[in-house]
A and B are shown apart, each in its own frame.
Chain A
Amino acid sequence: MKPAIQMKEVTVDFPGPDGQPFRALEGISLDVAEREFVCLVGPSGCGKSTLLNVVAGFERPTHGKVIVEGDLVKGPDPRRIFVFQESAVFPWMTVLQNVALAAKDPSKLQDHISMVGLEGFEQAYPHQLSGGMRQRAEIARALAAEPDVIYMDEPFSALDYFTKLRLRRDLLRIWQEKEMTILFVTHDVEEAMQLADRIVVMGRAPGRILEVVEVPLERPRNIDAPIYLETRDHLLDVLGLS
């Protein structure tokens, strides 16, 4: 099957403080299959967010390229929606208006809002919602565009533990219903273990792929299962070496 996302030797240099270019990413090559849920995990500074921005088309790589669904990525595209860490729902619009702005099919607005569990808050403004609800709104908006791929940049990291659990559960439900490809960045190993089909472990200086770990377990993941614990320990191991 043709992969949904193909990263080919993606390299990103930034101008460094001393005038020398600073290499944020080095030769990243990775394929993500259709309907796969892949997590990028790594310590801060490993370039995982930068990589996601390049794949989404917000930034250009210095070398290498990204191909998504057969198209060379030159900029952002409504078929591939990015969900930000700090909520990017427009604060001057209600939840409903935000979703409507993105919606491909105006008659399905309510469906998307219900899917994330925000019924009753359609007329609310983002500043009237809690952090978790804002992220839900953002996901609803992303869904309304009916994308094939969703990029998520640490979307739950600013939320409290219980909200995180709830949202992870809801995200998995949505992913399974909608059959989308998801590329998810996180620094939380536990989170990656709960969500991903495959986990890409990244190291820093320069940012590169250390290892790709398969997680062929059924969801919801049993955190007591030996395979689960082994895989997790292996992850921590790989990270510990970076």
Chain B
Amino acid sequence: MTSDGAVLSPRLNTKLGGLRWASTARPVVALILFGVAWEAGIRWSGTTLLPSPYAVAAAIVELIQQGVLAKYIVASLFRTTWGFGLALLVGLPLGLFLGWFRPAAEALNPVIQILRPISPIAWIPLAILWFGITDAAPIFLIFLASVFPITVSTSAAVHGIPRIYLRAAQNFGVSGWRLWTRVIFPACLPQIITSLRIALGVAWLVVVAAEMIAVNSGLGYLIIDARNAGKRYDLVVAGMLMIGFIGLILDTLIRRLEHLPMVQWGLQNR
């Protein structure tokens, strides 16, 4: 048995309970150390503005007591779900289409590359114009943030399918719809899943900016509102921490997709 179990196969790792425990303990210890360093920093600098870990925890409790914590989390998750979901619905087919049909790619690529670097915050005025001050506006901004990485990655994945797979498919008479569902799409899936991870991260990151538009709920709104409330840095940091923590959960969940057997071929380290 090696000292950190790295050489063992994944199947063995789950059976040896002890090793698994160690790899969960490490990040926990790191987080605790970080918390201690934070508290020490606050005390040593004597700041009256920056909150200590205790103050942030108290702020979270306050939010729970007011009954808004669950509401805000649900609101942000709702907008991210729909924004990201729509980005998938639009970005995947568009990416597949652009990757496969060269003339379409040549026509649309400049447009996509021009729109891509525009920060969602810059879209806020247009979002208000088109979608008003309802949930549709933040959903639109989140959609914008995620649709470009998905489209570009998917189209690159299609472009990069090894020629022999396409030739083999052609040889066996696989064509039309079957070609897309049995060959092209699965061949791109590992790369698509990697891009989904990134796109979801971007979508969740944009939540704060997206919730600048007159919504009255959400974790991003919490932070913006806390700024307007005066000296509520504890709420600001509490909001930041919760966003970070939920972001971690989202990332962990989407990484489970990497365990699907039909994509492991592209995502495993050899």
Asked whether, in the complex, the Cβ of B264 is within 8 Å of the Cβ of A127, the reply is yes
User: Measured between alpha carbons, how far is A82 from B189 in the docked complex, in Å?
Assistant: 25
B24 within 8 A of A: no
**Majority-rule SS of A interface residues:** loop
Q: Residues of A at under 8 Å CB distance from B?
A: 56, 58, 75-78, 80-82, 84, 86, 88, 90-93, 101-102, 125-127, 141, 145
Asked whether, in the complex, the Cβ of B189 is within 8 Å of the Cβ of A92, the reply is yes
Asked whether, in the complex, the Cβ of B268 is within 8 Å of the Cβ of A127, the reply is yes
User: Measured between alpha carbons, how far is A75 from B263 in the docked complex, in Å?
Assistant: 30
Asked whether, in the complex, the Cβ of A92 is within 8 Å of the Cβ of B265, the reply is yes
Chain B, residues 239-270, CB within 8 Å of chain A (1/0): the string is 00000000000000000000001111110100
Asked whether, in the complex, the Cβ of A91 is within 8 Å of the Cβ of B173, the reply is no
Minimum distance in angstroms from A193 CB to a CB of chain B: 28
Minimum distance in angstroms from B181 CB to a CB of chain A: 11
Asked whether, in the complex, the Cβ of B265 is within 8 Å of the Cβ of A88, the reply is no
What residues of B have a CB within 8 angstroms of the CB of A91 in the complex?
Answer: 265-266
What residues of A have a CB within 8 angstroms of the CB of B262 in the complex?
Answer: 92-93, 125
What residues of A have a CB within 8 angstroms of the CB of B263 in the complex?
Answer: 92
A-B CB proximity, top 10 nearest: A91-B265, A92-B186, A78-B173, A88-B168, A76-B171, A127-B265, A88-B164, A92-B262, A102-B172, A76-B170
Size class of the B contact interface (CB-based, 8 Å)? 20 to 34
Out of A58, A81, A88, name the residue touching B165 (CB < 8 Å).
A88
User: Measured between alpha carbons, how far is A101 from B169 in the docked complex, in Å?
Assistant: 9
Can you list 9 pairs linking A and B with CB atoms under 8 Å apart?
A56-B171, A76-B170, A80-B171, A81-B171, A88-B164, A88-B167, A90-B187, A91-B266, A92-B187
Asked whether, in the complex, the Cβ of B172 is within 8 Å of the Cβ of A145, the reply is yes
Chain B, residues 165-203, CB within 8 Å of chain A (1/0): the string is 101101111100000001100110100000000000000
Nearest to B260 among chain A residues (CB) is A92
Asked whether, in the complex, the Cβ of B171 is within 8 Å of the Cβ of A78, the reply is yes
User: Measured between alpha carbons, how far is A77 from B172 in the docked complex, in Å?
Assistant: 7
User: Measured between alpha carbons, how far is A88 from B165 in the docked complex, in Å?
Assistant: 6
What residues of A have a CB within 8 angstroms of the CB of B182 in the complex?
Answer: 93, 101
Known interface pairs A90-B165, A92-B187; A75-B170 also in contact (CB < 8 Å): yes
Out of A77, A82, A90, A127, name the residue touching B167 (CB < 8 Å).
A82
Q: Residues of B at under 8 Å CB distance from A?
A: 164-165, 167-168, 170-174, 182-183, 186-187, 189, 261-266, 268
**Majority-rule SS of B interface residues:** helix
Nearest to A138 among chain B residues (CB) is B168
What residues of B have a CB within 8 angstroms of the CB of A90 in the complex?
Answer: 165, 168, 183, 186-187
User: Measured between alpha carbons, how far is A105 from B198 in the docked complex, in Å?
Assistant: 43
Known: A82-B167, A82-B168, A93-B182. 10 other contacts (CB 8 A): A56-B171, A76-B170, A81-B172, A90-B186, A92-B189, A92-B263, A93-B186, A125-B261, A126-B265, A145-B172
Nearest to A56 among chain B residues (CB) is B171
User: Measured between alpha carbons, how far is A141 from B168 in the docked complex, in Å?
Assistant: 10
User: Measured between alpha carbons, how far is A110 from B114 in the docked complex, in Å?
Assistant: 53
Nearest to B186 among chain A residues (CB) is A92
Asked whether, in the complex, the Cβ of A125 is within 8 Å of the Cβ of B264, the reply is yes
What residues of B have a CB within 8 angstroms of the CB of A125 in the complex?
Answer: 261-262, 264-265
User: Measured between alpha carbons, how far is A86 from B164 in the docked complex, in Å?
Assistant: 9
Nearest to B185 among chain A residues (CB) is A92
User: Measured between alpha carbons, how far is A77 from B174 in the docked complex, in Å?
Assistant: 10
User: Measured between alpha carbons, how far is A173 from B173 in the docked complex, in Å?
Assistant: 27
What residues of B have a CB within 8 angstroms of the CB of A76 in the complex?
Answer: 167, 170-171
Minimum distance in angstroms from B118 CB to a CB of chain A: 35
What residues of B have a CB within 8 angstroms of the CB of A88 in the complex?
Answer: 164-165, 167-168
What residues of A have a CB within 8 angstroms of the CB of B165 in the complex?
Answer: 88, 90
Interface centre among B167, B168, B173 (most CB of A within 10 A): B168
User: Measured between alpha carbons, how far is A9 from B186 in the docked complex, in Å?
Assistant: 40
What residues of B have a CB within 8 angstroms of the CB of A86 in the complex?
Answer: 164
Minimum distance in angstroms from A157 CB to a CB of chain B: 15
Minimum distance in angstroms from A68 CB to a CB of chain B: 13
User: Measured between alpha carbons, how far is A169 from B3 in the docked complex, in Å?
Assistant: 46
Asked whether, in the complex, the Cβ of B186 is within 8 Å of the Cβ of A101, the reply is no
User: Measured between alpha carbons, how far is A60 from B149 in the docked complex, in Å?
Assistant: 37
